[in-house]
Amino acid sequence: MSPRGLTALSGVSGHSPPVWFQSLDGLFFFFLNKEYFSPQTISNNMTSNSNLSNMRRLVEQLKLEASVERIKVSQAAAELQQYCLQNAGKDALLVGVPTGSNPFREPRSCAVV
């Protein structure tokens, strides 16, 4: 039931906190009804609050990630390559090892039980 001469300033729904109205002579009103303090209204506000804290956490996390110090890919790539080449000699799967020193390449010995 919309009082005459009043303009709704925000969406009206049975479960949202009160709607503000502005009268023709400029005064602001809202209507106190029992839905204002309903559990639904309170839980709507709490969900909004938890969405808010999640968003705040996300923004803080993004700020942290943005502040990481970075180096150029060319430098990072060069260092990855250098590590590979320096350790290539020890990499049995890459270069193989002298016959006899890779236990898996030997035929397996039988275990005497």
Q: What DSSP string describes 12-77? A: --TTSSPPPEEETTS-EE----GGGG-HHHHHHHHHHHHHHHHHHHHHHHHHHHHT-----HHHHH
> Residue from 2, 12, 29, 33 that binds another protein (CB under 8 A)?
29
- Residue 108 near another protein by CB under 8 A: yes
Neighbours of 20 (CB within 10 A): 14
- Residue 46 near another protein by CB under 8 A: no
Q: Which residues bind another protein (CB under 8 A)?
A: 10, 16-18, 20, 23, 25, 27-30, 32, 36, 41, 45, 48-49, 51-52, 55-56, 58-59, 61-66, 68, 70-81, 83-88, 90-94, 97, 102-105, 108-109, 111
